[in-house]
Amino acid sequence: MTETYRAVQVTHPGLLELVTRPVPSPAPGEVLIAVEACGICGAIGDIENADPARQLPRVPGHEVVGRVVALGSGVASIWKPGQRVGVGRLGGHCGECVQCRQGRFNLCRNQPIMGSNRDGGYAEMMTARGTGLVSIPPELNAEEAAPILCAGIATFNALKKCGAEAGDLVAVLGIGGLGHMALQYARRMGFRVAAIGRGQDIAQDAHDLGAHHYIDTNGEDAAERLRVLGGAKAILTTIATPAAVAPLLGGLAPEGRLVLLGVGNDPLPVVPGLLVGGERSVTGSITGSPYENERTLDFSVLTGVRPMIETMPLEQTAEAVRRVKSGHVRFRMVLMMGGERPCA
């Protein structure tokens, strides 16, 4: 195994630097991974808003796929050298807190956030907690699997908990990195799917991805259109703009749910009468456990769901991030680790 590896780190907020680091040894409970691919999530606040208090420099990235190179002591026996694994946003539960004892591992408050308070996958090598590992199916290549570990699990789990049943109308607001996965999953789960976007340039993509209906907010009232269609049992919002999200409450059917995936700091105005009168609700949904991530990957293989991606090499990370910020990527960007990969 080589003694060094390349990584792209945040040295100051918004500033990325390609560096060479010594290969670390995994600590107890951790594994060392040779990274093959890492997706660039649309939530790139870890780069733009990097907190110096979180021990910069920091390597971003939380859609990681690679192979186990070495194991620290105490790692579960299901993980072996050479095995294909992934790591998502949540870096591994502690197994001791109240949430873990309840089996709600995605809500563990003692796990690292990959790329934020622990080095992530914009690198040829990385370490990770064994409890955060996800087994990657052989049917998926690394660049396909990487975005499923974030955009895939986020939308798959949100749809599972949205309260809709097969045949119900489910709407997806925002046809981007998250939304293009949500449309595919929703169609294959048997929902009647409405895509809500801005402009006609995305309409054909929405239909190709599985939408039965496309609602262009530039030309029509989305809530009124949903009411005409019978009301949505669930609406998934992949964006966090309150002005775009709040009006959609009026398009929910009685007992419908507005499921928030987009993260923002601005308050969401809610008309209490819409909630009380029809027993509607607003809820949030956060990614999922490693087991749930494996379920998402398996469902993707079973039903043919794949992210639409562009790839760039690690040394062009800054340009890849710029393209993601510009909104010109269809629909996910994935960094590929080129050159000779270390092996056990």
DSSP state letters, 71-140: E-TT--TT--TT-EEEE-SB----S-SHHHHTT-GGG-SSS-BBTTTB--SSBSEEEEEGGGEEEPPTTS
For residue 25, the 8-state DSSP code is P
Q: Using 50, 70 and 90 to split pLDDT, how confident is the model at 343?
A: very low
* pLDDT, position 338: 76
Q: Assess contact for 8 and 117: CB atoms under 8 A.
A: no
CATH topology assigned to domain 4-150+288-336: Quinone Oxidoreductase; Chain A, domain 1 (3.90.180)
Q: Which of 82-86, 174-178, 258-262, 336-340 has the lowest mean pLDDT?
A: 336-340
Name the residue among 153, 228, 152, 235 with its Cα closest to residue 194.
235
Q: How far apart are CA 16 and CA 318, in angstroms?
A: 6
Query: Can you give the residue ranges of every domain in the chain?
Result: 4-150+288-336, 162-284
Query: By the 8 A CB rule, do 253 and 69 touch?
Result: no
CATH class of the domain whose range is 162-284: alpha beta
Q: What is the largest CA-CA distance in the chain?
A: 64
> Among residues of the chain, what percentage have pLDDT more than 90?
89
* pLDDT at position 157: 97
Residue 344 clears pLDDT 50, i.e. is over it: no
Task: Please check whether residue 178 is in contact with residue 153, taking contact to mean a CB–CB distance below 8 angstroms.
Answer: no
Q: What is the pLDDT of residue 328?
A: 87
- Is-cis flag, bond preceding 331, omega within 30? yes
Alpha-carbon distance of 120 to 59, in angstroms, equals 5
Lookup: tokens for 51? 């907190």
Q: How confident is the model at residue 43 (pLDDT cuts 50, 70, 90)?
A: low
Beta strands in 175-221 (DSSP E): 192-197, 213-216
Would you mind telling me the total number of residues written for the chain in this entry? 344
Structure token digits, residue 341: 């990969």
Judge whether 258 and 249 are in contact, CB under 8 Å.
Answer: yes
DSSP for 300-331, please give it.
Answer: HHHHT----EEEEEGGGHHHHHHHHHHT-SSS
**Cα 118 off chain centre by:** 17
pLDDT tier at 60, thresholds 50, 70, 90: very high
Closest to 161 measured CA to CA, from 107, 228, 242: 107
- How many CB atoms within 10 Å of residue 322? 12
CA-CA-CA-CA torsion sign (305, 165, 173, 194): positive
Three-class SS state of 183:
helix
CA neighbours closer than 13 Å in the CB half-sphere of residue 219: 7
Q: pLDDT tens digits for 274-326? A: 999 999 999 999 999 999 999 999 999 999 999 999 999 999 999 999 999 99
CB atoms within 10 A of CB 221: 14
pLDDT tens digits, one per residue of 89-109: 999 999 999 999 999 999 999
For all residues of the chain together, what is the average pLDDT? 94
How many Cβ atoms from other residues are within 10 Å of residue 110's Cβ?
12
Q: Is the pLDDT of residue 53 over 70?
A: yes
Percentage above 70 pLDDT, the chain? 98
Residue at token pair 């945040």: 10
Q: What is the pLDDT of residue 262?
A: 87
Does the pLDDT of residue 47 top 50, yes or no?
A: yes
- Indicate the range of 34-48, 56-70, 91-105, 279-293 predicted with least confidence: 34-48
**Around Cβ 276, how many Cβ atoms within 10 Å?**
9
> What is the average per-residue pLDDT within 235-243?
95
C-alpha span between 176 and 198 (Å, rounded): 11
